[in-house]
Amino acid sequence: MKKIVAVLSATLMSMSLGMAAYAGETEASTEASVDFSAVKTVVDGQLTVGTEAGFAPYEYLVGDQVEGVDIDISQAIADKLGVKLVVQNMDFDGALAAVQQGKVDIVAAGVSVSPDREKVMDFSDKYVDSSDVIVVNAASPAVKESSADALKDLTVGVQQGNIADLWVSNPDNASPKSVQRYTKFAQAATDLANSKIDCIVMDKVPAEELVKSSDGKLAIVDGDPVFEDSYAIALQKGNDQMKSAVNVVIEELKKSGEMDQIFASHAESAETEAETEASTEA
């Protein structure tokens, strides 16, 4: 019996070591299959990233510096490629157009993956799931429940080109009276606080930051998300080398736990942009 137990233990240990070795070989082979030195960029020696720095905590301004979750991910990609990171802050629509035209290497701006977008650009692996909510004027909320039906006959604010814009504008999803499009959420927040629009539909995490910086003027409607989606890095259609390199970095950040650390590091520091923009617009 002792011999049988010993043989079984030895066999299990061998299998465990074999599986670990296989996993290590698989991870190594995945990275080895990407020749980072061969990945071409729009400008030699730099990774040009398009973003819109009004979507905290994913991207926001600290002074003139763009910071955020997406910027840290982009820096990790640039480091892997051995190039300098250059961030171009532009309108969200403009950033998506720029990557399609090959003017920037990637767009890291809380970009939602959708079938329509996949027709004109490529996407990396998803790195976070998101939930979209309804933000209202806290003193006189025009919406009392978190649902598509609750948006009926209302003026809904969205960021132009954002997935919420596409979702709200689709009559199969909602039937608002009108959709008011903004280049920055801070502009929408100011109009909502002044009762110029009825509500805003946006991602929950930036919405929490927007509400937090509103001095009690705004609130998120309680309930389930209006809809859910996922974020990924946008790339020019057919840029397979860059896509493979980005996917390796995303996978490494997830496996090492660094992705969680990146999100945690920006959880409490993203109010600056919203407060600055709100005070400027006011």
Spatial CB neighbours of 25, under 8 Å, sequence gap ≥ 6: none
> pLDDT below 50 — which residues of the chain?
1-17, 19-30, 272-282
**CA dihedral for 10, 13, 19, 25, sign (positive or negative):** negative
Task: Please report, as a single letter, which amino acid is at residue 29.
Answer: S
Angle at 276 between CA 198 and CA 59, to 5 degrees: 85
- pLDDT, residue 269, reads 59
pTM of the predicted model over 0.95: no
pLDDT of residue 4: 43
The sign one gets for the Cα dihedral 124, 119, 71, 77 is: positive
Comparing CA positions, the residue from 246, 261, 252 lying closest to residue 107 is 246
Q: What is the reported pLDDT for 32?
A: 54
The pLDDT of residue 127: 95
Element (H, E) at 164: helix 163-169
Q: What is the pLDDT of residue 268?
A: 62
